[in-house]
């Protein structure tokens, strides 16, 4: 009897691949450095029993229709907006993601961006690399301390809660906007649930932690962005499409807010060239989960979902 085939659209950490092979599956990994093309994806999914995909792989109706044997699409990400999950469900294909395991890595990176913006680290590092440092000055690169600042979290889920824990340790006061009340955040960190308008107006630091869907696309529009303080810091480690990126750029250009930190972008991997020109931004290449621990755990979770479904068990983290 032929082994069931698992196709992976890009090389993931060996922990996941080895787990699949130890459980008797035939694993094929797209081996080129570039991201898989649509044509190559179609060719490889035809006889696959399971697909492990990246957030950059668009798994739409056409791709799903080519999956003659596939029973599970295991997305190697927390997000799954790259997959038509409703159509997959109609075709009897389970879709899973990798939540929980990248919570701490993303929360750590969020605070990295907050600190980099607050203390103008990119500007300072550039001065040193370009040998422009002329010695200590009383007002050289003045930034802001975090103590007693109002830290606004949009989306108080797993990652939002982890960010709240870190911000609270820095002495910040936590407010949040979320669909549901988070009793744990309120008990542990004295967090206060507020309206989105209140959060945007009151916060010294604003951090986004919401998924991308029809309800959240451009949720943070120009009207909300215009409410921010001139001293505000805006951080996005969620998805580029949940904000009006062009309007945020215009505010940064006019110094209407202090700074912004980005790990995600509207047209990723393309970046708005206007962002690169700005001194008051910190730009990272979508590395929120880029730790050895998180990426290995993601690989193992994706593999465990595949193993469960292909052996007739329930998936661990289904999204559809």
Let me know if 286 is a catalytic residue: yes
Please pick, among 239, 241, 245, 295, the residue that the annotation labels catalytic.
239
CA nearest 43: which of 61, 30, 32, 26? 30
- How many Cβ atoms sit within 10 Å of the Cβ of residue 43? 13
- Degrees (nearest 5) of the Cα angle 113, 211, 189? 60
Let me know if 61 is a catalytic residue: no
Please pick, among 119, 158, 247, 286, the residue that the annotation labels catalytic.
286
C-alpha pair distances (Å), 69 with each of 6, 17, 84, 127, 304:
11, 20, 17, 57, 19
Query: How far, rounded to the nearest angstrom, does the alpha carbon of residue 2 sit from its chain's CA centroid?
Result: 38
Let me know if 268 is a catalytic residue: yes
Retrieve residue 188's tokens: 């542990």
Q: Which long-range contacts (CB under 8 A, 24 or more apart) does 33-40 make?
A: 35/9, 35/10, 36/9, 36/10, 38/63
| Enzyme catalytic residues | 239, 268, 286
């Amino acid at each position: 009897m032929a082994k069931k085939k698992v196709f992976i659209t890009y090389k993931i950490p060996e922990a996941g691949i080895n787990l699949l092979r130890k459980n008797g599956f035939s694993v094929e990994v797209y081996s080129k450095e570039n991201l898989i093309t649509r044509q190559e994806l179609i060719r490889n999914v035809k006889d696959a029993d399971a697909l492990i995909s990246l957030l950059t792989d668009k798994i739409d109706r056409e791709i799903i229709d080519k999956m003659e044997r596939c029973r599970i699409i295991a997305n190697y990400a927390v997000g799954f907006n790259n997959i038509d999950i409703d159509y997959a469900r109609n075709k009897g294909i389970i879709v899973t993601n990798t939540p929980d395991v990248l919570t701490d890595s993303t929360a750590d990176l969020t605070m990295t961006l907050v600190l980099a913006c607050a203390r103008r680290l990119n500007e300072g590092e550039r001065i040193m690399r370009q040998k422009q440092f002329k010695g200590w000055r009383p007002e050289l690169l003045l930034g802001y301390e975090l103590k007693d600042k109002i830290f606004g979290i949009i989306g108080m889920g797993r990652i939002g809660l982890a960010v709240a824990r870190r911000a609270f340790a820095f002495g910040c006061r936590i407010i949040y906007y979320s669909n549901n009340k988070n009793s744990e955040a309120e008990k542990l960190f004295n967090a206060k649930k507020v309206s989105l308008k209140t959060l945007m107006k009151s916060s010294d630091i604003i951090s986004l932690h919401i998924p991308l869907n029809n309800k959240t696309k451009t949720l943070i529009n120009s009207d909300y962005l215009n409410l921010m303080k001139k001293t505000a810091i805006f951080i996005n480690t969620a998805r580029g499409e949940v904000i009006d990126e062009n309007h945020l750029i215009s505010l940064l250009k006019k110094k209407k807010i202090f700074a912004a930190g980005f790990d995600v972008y509207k047209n990723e991997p393309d970046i708005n060239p206007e962002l690169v020109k700005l001194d008051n931004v910190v730009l990272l290449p979508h590395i929120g989960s880029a730790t050895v621990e998180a990426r290995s755990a993601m690989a193992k979770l994706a593999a465990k979902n595949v193993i469960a479904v292909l052996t007739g068990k329930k998936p661990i983290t289904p999204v559809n």
